[in-house]
Structure 1
Amino acid sequence: MAGWQEVPGALTAISVGAAAHVWGVNSTGTIYKYDGVGTDPWTQIPGTLTNIGVGSDGTVWGVNSTGIIYRYDGVGSDPWTQVPGTLTQISVGDADSVWGVNSDGKIYRYNFGTQAWDLVPGTLTDIGVGDDDAVWGVNSAGIIYRYDGVGSDPWTQVPGALTRISVGDATNVWGVNSDGKIYRYNFGTQAWDLVPGALTDIGVGTDGTVWGVNSAGTVYKYVP
């Protein structure tokens, strides 16, 4: 029967690119990568972050408590390269698709040509990016938006209310609301299906892999 399987560890935020790319941070900012080996299946990664984004190809970016942005290069004792700009939350579709929001709710998309952040119209507190460039977000009131990229207001409101959202691709969108309820978007009915359980953060991979953490820091993997 489908449901949530508890995984050893304790995290406050989690991100999933695919089954082989699951990363998270805990309440002290310690960074972990899931390797699935033994009774302690997490490998600690040097550095300190408060939010992390992982792409389907294993690309990893993160931000720390002061908003400083880092890209993971995996080299040496300090495997992070600082990227100019400040954000509070970041999401990665793949190596070519990185979006984020800052403390004022401003939305940015990283421009790999200019090596800088392009401002995108709108205001959000959380954003999710798929590896096919599907982008969804929620604002401070819990209102949900899907990015269509057309005109001066490139966002289409989607019914429902969420605080966190994660996108694997254009057909794979999950979120949680302020009560910890879990939802999966049903593209057939154009509505949200309630999924049993309670989480505060959720991560969805392009291959349908879903992980989450609850208010106590307990880590779960969704078993279809």
Structure 2
Amino acid sequence: MIGCASGGEGGNQIFNLQSTWDLLPGAGVKVAVEPRWGGYWHVESSGAIRINNKLQPGCAKDIASGSAGVWITGCAPTNGGFEIYRANLAYSATDLTGVQSWQAMPGGATQLAVGNSAWAINSSGNIFRFEDSVNAWQQVEGCARSIGAAGDHVWVIGCAANGAGGNEIFERRRDQWVKREGAAVKVSVDSLGNPWVVASNGAIFTWIRKQP
């Protein structure tokens, strides 16, 4: 996660949750876990992109990583937000070494999430899922201010206020948005499909599914 305290010129401190929140090298404004190879991607306030604090080519406003690859919104404005790119990654014999190049993708967005598919929110709050078979974004019903994904699990923060903590929270279930309790301003999803949300005061919560 990106913390609330400054970590230097690049942005705020970056943390990883083990049994406690461990401080990681670097500072940023956006962070994404690299689920396939381990480690983390982050974006600095300047738009610089790093993996495990190693500088990569390109400029980004947002970054997301999942089984459908590594995606960014670039720094050039376009209709709907910023240009969208997908990484062509470089590998050694045993590891991911970084970004070889960025492939321009259609559309524009302000936020991305990547699980088994890439998801995007544009500047109007419209929600889209990328369909590889037609190389195009397909709009999904609803309005969102933040989105998180892992595997087939997708959660959003909606556009309607729900108290002091932020806006309504929804989970994607059987091609519908199901409202969940609570309120937040940001959401992400871990590798087990559990959502983690940040409230307007910076408090962190995870949602525990009720057992039957």
For the aligned pair, the TM-score class normalised by the smaller chain equals 0.7 to 0.9
With 137-146 and 67-76 compared, the bigger mean Cα shift is at: 67-76
Matched, 1:146 2:168: no
Q: Deviations over 1:181-211 (max 9, x none)?
A: 0011111379xxxxxxxxxxxxxxxxxxxxx
Is the 1:134–1:169 Cα contact (8 Å) retained in structure 2? no
How far the C-alpha of 1:56 sits from its partner, in A, is: 4.5
Specify the alignment match of 1:8 in structure 2: 25
Q: Which runs of 5+ in 1 are unaligned?
A: 35-41, 191-224
Specify the alignment match of 1:113 in structure 2: 133
Looking at secondary structure, tell me which structure has more strand per residue.
2
Specify the alignment match of 1:23 in structure 2: 41
The one-letter amino acid of 2:57's match is: P
1:48 counterpart (51, 54, 59):
59
How far the C-alpha of 1:158 sits from its partner, in A, is: 0.6
With 14-23 and 45-54 compared, the bigger mean Cα shift is at: 14-23
**Structure 2 vs 1, CA of residues 145 and 77 (structure 1 numbering), >3 Å: closer, same or farther?**
closer
How far the C-alpha of 1:82 sits from its partner, in A, is: 0.5
Q: 1:14 & 1:77 partners in 2: Cα distance? A: 16
Is the 1:137–1:165 Cα contact (8 Å) retained in structure 2? yes
Specify the alignment match of 1:199 in structure 2: none
Q: Which runs of 5+ in 2 are unaligned?
A: 1-17, 91-97, 162-166
Matched, 1:124 2:144: yes
Q: 2:50 & 2:120 partners in 1: Cα distance? A: 21
How far the C-alpha of 1:129 sits from its partner, in A, is: 1.0
Q: 1:115 & 1:170 partners in 2: Cα distance? A: 28
Q: TM-score, normalised by structure 2?
A: 0.76
Matched, 1:70 2:58: no
Aligned pairs for 1:152-171 within 5 A: 154-169=176-191, 171=193
Q: Which has the higher contact order (CA 8 A, sep 6+)?
A: 1
Q: 2:171 & 2:115 partners in 1: Cα distance? A: 15
Q: 2:70 & 2:38 partners in 1: Cα distance? A: 13
Specify the alignment match of 1:198 in structure 2: none
Is the 1:21–1:54 Cα contact (8 Å) retained in structure 2? no
Q: 2:205 & 2:137 partners in 1: Cα distance? A: 31
Is the 1:69–1:86 Cα contact (8 Å) retained in structure 2? yes
Q: Deviations over 1:43-85 (max 9, x none)?
A: 111100010001157x200102421000000369961010010
Q: TM-score, normalised by structure 1?
A: 0.72
How far the C-alpha of 1:92 sits from its partner, in A, is: 0.7
Percent of matched pairs sharing the same residue = 32
The one-letter amino acid of 1:148's match is: R
Is the 2:150–2:193 Cα contact (8 Å) retained in structure 1? no
The one-letter amino acid of 1:49's match is: A
Is the 2:60–2:73 Cα contact (8 Å) retained in structure 1? yes
| Matched residues, number | 176
